Amino acid sequence: MKYDTIIVGGGISGLSALHYLKKLRPSMSVRLFEGADRVGGVIGTDVIDDYACEWGPNGILDKSGLTRELCEQIGAEGLLESANENAKKRFILRGGKLRPAPMSLGSFITSGVLSPLGKLRIFLEPFTSSATDGDESIYSFASRHLGKEVADYLIQPMVTGIYAGSAERLSVRACFPMLYELDKESGSIIRGALARRKRKKLEAKKSQSGENKPERKGSMRLLSLKRTGVQALIERLSETYSDCIQTGCLAKDVTAGVGGSGFTVQFENQESVDCDNLILAIPSYRAEQVLTNLSGKLATATGRIPYAPIAVVCLGYPAEAASRALDGFGFLIPPSEKRDILGAIWTSSIFPDRAPEGKVLLRVLLGGGANPEVMDKSDEALVTICRNELSSIMGVTEPPELVKLYRWTKAIPQYTIGHMDILAEIESEAAKFPGLHLAGNAYRGIGVSDCLGNSLGVVESLPN
Ligand SMILES: Cc1cc2nc3c(=O)[nH]c(=O)nc-3n(C[C@H](O)[C@H](O)[C@H](O)COP(=O)(O)OP(=O)(O)OC[C@H]3O[C@@H](n4cnc5c(N)ncnc54)[C@H](O)[C@@H]3O)c2cc1C
């Protein structure tokens, strides 16, 4: 049988593409093939002794509103939960001490993360900055606009928290396109942001008077689903579309379809399927493997996107184990502090139902683009590192009653300087094969909500 559309890859990108196809192109015949024996990709949860240990994401910043909308569309809105007020409080390690990260103007003034000079430097930004040509590293961009101290102690930890990468290697244009545009528009982030706010206010007035269409409303709140977290979204999607999903089907090759139209996808189990449209929602290093016979150039371009490794260590303790209050999201560590972990999320402080009554669940992150060699250590050694660091930073000295470790050798795609050039090459090569679409977190945004937006964009581009 020839399908109208085949999706390869059943992570959130592939599953959401399936959902949008069912909604927006209901007459199309469609099938999703996943290589593993379960869908979800890096999203998963193990419930052990009532602790909910998440393998990958622990929340979704619903910037676009697509996450809430998706949950409503598949009847999962009752499972949605927002992180509690603790999520607004984040800490950064400086000089061995946890200091509240400035999240508002008030906390910015009192925060001990920056010195008075470092704070003053930010206010000088509109007068000292000017636009530059081309792409640059996030670190260089931040130092140029906001000073080296901000780059070291605010931006670098933030980049670790999102990309597990080094601000010195990642591209500001690809990772923070809005900041890049503000720089190009007005040479200053602050001046540019003020000008944009003015424009937005005008647009809002217009939309109130009916001149513009109202947009889908996003929020900067961290969303998840009750008890098992983002995994519950995967479960609901796979139940809803179970008749279109086939697991255990690892694609190994894509060739042009019979008669030159569409595609034939060959699987490891010797089966093959034909389709008019092919959505490859797999990591780019996997796309490289399956696309080699279709287009060597396209395969090579997808293979140029590097990935950073991460180990996630979930640790459960009695609530009184920490000598400090766990009244926040957790903490991140700037590389200049020279620690062996990237930071820790106080999971049960923001989503209390992830740990049993009277207990706390912490998730420590290790590795990342700047410290990949940590991954060579044994599980035992990684847990010892976590325990030593938690003891030194948070005063947690007793042994954990729960330990669960997850290793991702290729966890997060790294949008390094020049990423947008790689994308342009991928897109121009892919355009030579009408009906071929690349989705997934390797290209235009690594957050779950970015993956939803990208998959929606791919589906909207398909013929009706
Ligand atoms: C440790 C960690 C923490 C994170 N935390 C957050 C967070 O808090 N918030 C957030 O928004 N995002 C977070 N992210 C990022 C986010 O989870 C991912 O970007 C997103 O889930 C990726 O989804 P995907 O479908 O694009 O890719 P994947 O989840 O990688 O799915 C790809 C799927 O394709 C399948 N596949 C691969 N090759 C083939 C093949 N040849 N044939 C068939 N199938 C194949 C794989 O088995 C997999 O199921 C985190 C990621 C990690 C690793």
Query: Between 197 and 283, where is the model more confident?
Result: 283
Going by pLDDT thresholds of 50, 70 and 90, the confidence category of residue 368 is: very high
- Which of 32, 39, 58, 282 has the most ligand 1 atoms within 8 A of CB, as the residue to mutate? 282
Tell me what pLDDT residue 206 has. Answer: 77
Average pLDDT in the 269-279 region?
A: 95
Tell me what pLDDT residue 209 has. Answer: 67
Look at residue 216 and tell me whether its pLDDT is greater than 90.
no
Q: Which atom of ligand 1 is nearest to the CA of 451?
A: 26
Assigned CATH for 306-413: 3.90.660.20
Q: Which atom of ligand 1 is nearest to the CA of 448?
A: 11
Tell me what pLDDT residue 94 has. Answer: 96
Average pLDDT in the 54-73 region?
A: 96
Look at residue 352 and tell me whether its pLDDT is greater than 80.
yes
Q: State the distance from the centre of ligand 1 to the C-alpha of 48, rounded, in angstroms.
A: 22
Q: State the distance from the centre of ligand 1 to the C-alpha of 402, rounded, in angstroms.
A: 25
pLDDT tens sequence across 30-45:
999 999 999 999 999 9
Q: State the distance from the centre of ligand 1 to the C-alpha of 413, rounded, in angstroms.
A: 10
For the chain, domain boundaries: 2-41+230-305+415-460, 114-208, 306-413
pLDDT tens sequence across 217-242:
788 889 999 999 999 999 999 999 99
Lowest-pLDDT range of 188-202, 263-277, 398-412: 188-202
Q: State the distance from the centre of ligand 1 to the C-alpha of 404, rounded, in angstroms.
A: 19
Architecture of the 2-41+230-305+415-460 domain:
3-Layer(bba) Sandwich (3.50)
Q: Exposed, middle or buried: residue 73 (CB in 10 Å: 0-12, 13-18, 19+)? A: middle
Tell me what pLDDT residue 107 has. Answer: 76
**Residues 169 and 416 sit within 8 Å (Cβ to Cβ):** yes
As a whole number, the mean pLDDT across the chain is: 94
Q: State the distance from the centre of ligand 1 to the C-alpha of 9, rounded, in angstroms.
A: 9
- Which of 39, 42, 266, 313 has the most ligand 1 atoms within 8 A of CB, as the residue to mutate? 42
Going by pLDDT thresholds of 50, 70 and 90, the confidence category of residue 108 is: confident
Kindly state the percentage of the chain with pLDDT values over 90.
84
Going by pLDDT thresholds of 50, 70 and 90, the confidence category of residue 304 is: very high
Using the CB atoms, write b or e for 165-177: b if 16+ within 10 Å: bbbbbbbbbbbbe
Tell me what pLDDT residue 212 has. Answer: 57
Residues near ligand 1 (Cβ within 6 A): 8-14, 33-36, 41-43, 56-60, 250-251, 281-283, 286, 290, 310, 312, 408, 411-412, 440-441, 446-448, 451
Give the closest residue (by CA) to ligand 1 atom 12: 447
Q: State the distance from the centre of ligand 1 to the C-alpha of 56, rounded, in angstroms.
A: 8
- Which of 60, 441, 449 has the most ligand 1 atoms within 8 A of CB, as the residue to mutate? 441
Going by pLDDT thresholds of 50, 70 and 90, the confidence category of residue 213 is: low
Average pLDDT in the 161-170 region?
A: 96
Q: Which atom of ligand 1 is nearest to the CA of 43?
A: 21
Tell me what pLDDT residue 204 has. Answer: 80
Average pLDDT in the 275-289 region?
A: 98
Q: Which atom of ligand 1 is nearest to the CA of 252?
A: 41
Q: State the distance from the centre of ligand 1 to the C-alpha of 166, rounded, in angstroms.
A: 20
Q: State the distance from the centre of ligand 1 to the C-alpha of 411, rounded, in angstroms.
A: 8
For residue 400, give the DSSP letter: P
Tell me what pLDDT residue 1 has. Answer: 81
Name the percent of the chain in helix, strand, coil, to the closest 5: 40, 25, 35
Tell me what pLDDT residue 254 has. Answer: 98
Tell me what pLDDT residue 22 has. Answer: 98
Look at residue 53 and tell me whether its pLDDT is greater than 90.
yes
**Residues 6 and 441 sit within 8 Å (Cβ to Cβ):** no
- Which residues neighbour 367 within 8 Å (Cβ) at sequence distance 6 or greater? 164, 308, 309, 310, 311, 342, 374, 375, 411
Domain 114-208: top CATH class:
mainly alpha
**Residues 346 and 362 sit within 8 Å (Cβ to Cβ):** yes
Kindly state the percentage of the chain with pLDDT values over 70.
98
Containing 315, the helix (H) or strand (E) segment is: strand 307-318
Q: Which atom of ligand 1 is nearest to the CA of 290?
A: 41
Q: Which atom of ligand 1 is nearest to the CA of 267?
A: 42
Tell me what pLDDT residue 215 has. Answer: 66
